[in-house]
Structure 1
Amino acid sequence: MNRVILTGGSSGIGKAINLFLLEKGYEVLFTYFNSGESAKEIESQYNNAKAYQIDFKSSSEIDRFSAEIEDFSPDILINNYYNGSFIDTYFHKTETEKFLNDFKNNIIPTLQITQECIAIFRKKKFGRIINILSSSLNSPAMGTSVYNSNKAYLQQMSKSWAIENVKFGITCNSISPSFIPTDFHKNMDERMKENILSRYPLKENLESKDISNVIDLCINGGKHFNGNHIFLDASYY
């Protein structure tokens, strides 16, 4: 149970998770798109890391990646990839195409990859699915309706994956971390970041190790640790 598929593993939270798993000795096949330099650096530092460049907007590239997944035969899937922005614009100003395109670019690839992994897990009678969501699901910032709707869809889907597959030794859990500054939030107004931190009970940003500890629990928590949605928010929301 040491082979991991990690989507979006070369930057931000995904990179932190990636490095944690690699240090623990897991074999990690991780995806990237734009962060090629970071991906190659990780690959050069760890013999147990394999970077895979993919544009999830391309159906042919997803098909090729599915074949790669089958060859890799993973034990664990961590869905972290998201292509888009955290804050966009108000709901009433959002074009319908924006909702549709983000769903096609984020949710559909995630569903396809998860289906591929579940087929492998069922044959093995073992598997772990972990979805990285967001505490913004509980307290949405203005302008995040597209992002939150995508994460909410995966939250609900996680419940189906958990109940449908547990008898095959497969668990599915989700993690919703509170705000953690990464490149994903680079366009976010600094005053908004300061406001979030000022209202947070611990008055300090979440650290990557906090997420990694829960990742470890989701992997090694046993077959009864299933169907959980864990908020890492110091009971703020």
Structure 2
Amino acid sequence: MKKIVLTGGSSGIGKIINLFLLEKGYEVLFTYWRSEDSAREIECKFPNAKAFQIDFTSEGQMTAFLNEIETFDPHILINNYYSGTFIDTYFHKTEAEKILDDFKNNVMPALQVTQKCISVFRKKKLGRIINILSSSMLSPAIGASVYNSNKAYLLQMSKSWALENVKFGITCNSVSPSFISTDFHKDMDERMKEMIVSGYPLKEKLEGGDVAAIVELCINGGQHFNGNHLFVDASHY
């Protein structure tokens, strides 16, 4: 199994996972939206990398990407893409439109891409689905209700994916890292970041490479390694 579809692979933790897998020799079709320089740099460095620019809110671009997946014929899907903010505001101050928009922009694309990949996997009776979630679902930060609820939705959905598809040689596992300081958290107060790290059992930041190693475990864990939700947090929670 060498061909991977990775959503959100040009920045943040997605980029780290992408580079890790490319260096291992996997062929990766990864998406990006605004990080074009980074995406092109990855393509130039790795002949086994293929970037696909997409605005997941565009119906036409989504259709084109689903067709690209069909042509690419992958063995593995990594749902990593998330557009929005981690910390926003209190739930009671969050407008209903914001909740709905974040669901449409983040959860629905993951569902559509997963449906397409499952149809591809079932034909070959082999596949791996890996969802990158967050350990913040266990210990929510104030203002992260929309982000956490979207991740939790995918976690519950992944349990169905694991059960419905295992007899076709398809597994589904989810990986929830502890806090990793990336561009996604650029709007967080530095004092909050320091507080998070100080409360971490290892007293040092989790690195993206640690998460990438767990992703590879999900790829190579075999058919019985299915339906797991793995926390990469040094037993923090």
* TM-score grouping bracket, smaller chain normalisation: over 0.9
Counterpart of 1:43 in structure 2: which amino acid? E
- After TM superposition, the score normalised by the length of structure 1 is 0.99
Structure 1 residue 176 corresponds to structure 2 residue 176: yes
1:103 aligns with: 103
Structure 1 residue 159 corresponds to structure 2 residue 162: no
State the shift of 1:209 in Å.
1.6
3-state DSSP class of the match of 1:103?
A: helix
Identity between Structure 1 and Structure 2 (%)? 73
Counterpart of 2:37 in structure 1: which amino acid? E
1:59 aligns with: 59
User: 5+ unaligned residues in a row in structure 1: which ranges?
Assistant: none
1:200 aligns with: 200
2:7 aligns with: 7
C-alpha distance in structure 1 between counterparts of 2:162 and 2:235, whole Å = 24
Q: How does 1:31-180 map onto structure 2 within 5 Å?
A: 31-180=31-180
Deviating beyond 2 angstroms after TM superposition, the runs of 4 or more aligned structure 1 residues are: none
3-state DSSP class of the match of 1:87?
A: coil
1:233 aligns with: 233
State the shift of 1:135 in Å.
0.4
C-alpha distance in structure 1 between counterparts of 2:54 and 2:216, whole Å = 26
Q: Deviation per CA, 1:167-221: give whole Å up to 9, x if none.
A: 0000000000000000000010001001101111100010112101101110000
C-alpha distance in structure 2 between counterparts of 1:20 and 1:200, whole Å = 25
Counterpart of 1:151 in structure 2: which amino acid? K
User: 5+ unaligned residues in a row in structure 2: which ranges?
Assistant: none
C-alpha distance in structure 2 between counterparts of 1:59 and 1:188, whole Å = 32
C-alpha distance in structure 2 between counterparts of 1:145 and 1:59, whole Å = 27
Give the paired residue count. 237
User: What CA RMSD, in Å, does the superposition of the two structures yield over aligned residues?
Assistant: 0.4
C-alpha distance in structure 2 between counterparts of 1:29 and 1:165, whole Å = 23
- After TM superposition, the score normalised by the length of structure 2 is 0.99
State the shift of 1:20 in Å.
0.6
Counterpart of 1:177 in structure 2: which amino acid? P
Structure 1 residue 30 corresponds to structure 2 residue 30: yes
